[in-house]
Amino acid sequence: MRIKVAITLGVLAAIALGFATVSVMATPQIASPTKLHVIEHATSDTVIDTGLPGDTTGDLLTFHNAVFNATDAKRVGRDQGDCIRIAPSHGSWECRWVTRVPGGSITVEGPFFDAQNSVLAVTGGTGIYRNARGTMGLQARNGGAEYDFIFNLVP
């Protein structure tokens, strides 16, 4: 009797796994190179001094901001993330964050420079972006009050 129960449970587990695999495989995803452009309004950026007073290595930057479409006319999502100050003399931070947009989210990691454009790596995503890789160009607007996020995604 125990053998029959074990076999039945094994078969049911295999069927459930099959359905889960088919469900995941059927979900839309990035199938060809895709460009997505959103604009972040940097309203919540907060720098936390972690050592000596002032801008020093190890300070933290945290944020959770609204993101808008490419024409800056409609809010389409939000982001949240953190950066650590690497070299104040070079204006460099090392950052990671998630941008939530219709259809899922996109995760990035890489450098952010105070007075320069940056390119970050797309390290993954969720929803339709679950298989996404590529880069995200970061460009300051309005003196750093806003940022263009230009995602160049590949499967």
For the ranges 9-18, 75-84, 125-134, 137-146, the lowest mean pLDDT is seen at 9-18
- Model confidence pTM above 0.85: no
What is the predicted pLDDT for the residue at 51?
A: 87
Please state the rounded mean pLDDT for residues 8-28: 54
User: What is the pLDDT, as a whole number, of residue 129?
Assistant: 97
Residues 87-91: contacts with CB within 8 Å, 24+ apart?
Answer: 87/57, 88/55, 88/56, 88/57, 91/115, 91/116
Greater pLDDT, 37 or 25 = 37
Work out the average pLDDT over 58-85: 98
Could you tell me what percent of the chain has a pLDDT over 90? 78
> Residue 90 carries which DSSP code?
G
Q: What is the pLDDT of residues 104-130, one digit of tens each?
A: 999 999 999 987 899 999 999 999 999
Q: Are strands 34-41 and 146-154 parallel, antiparallel or unpaired?
A: antiparallel
- Local confidence band at 8 (pLDDT 50, 70, 90 cut-offs): low
Mean pLDDT, the chain, rounded, equals 89
State the average pLDDT over residues 48-53.
93
- Cβ 25 vs Cβ 63: under 8 Å: no
Answer yes or no: is pLDDT of 55 > 70: yes
Query: Contact 87/57 with Cβ under 8 angstroms?
Result: yes
Model pLDDT, residue 130: 96
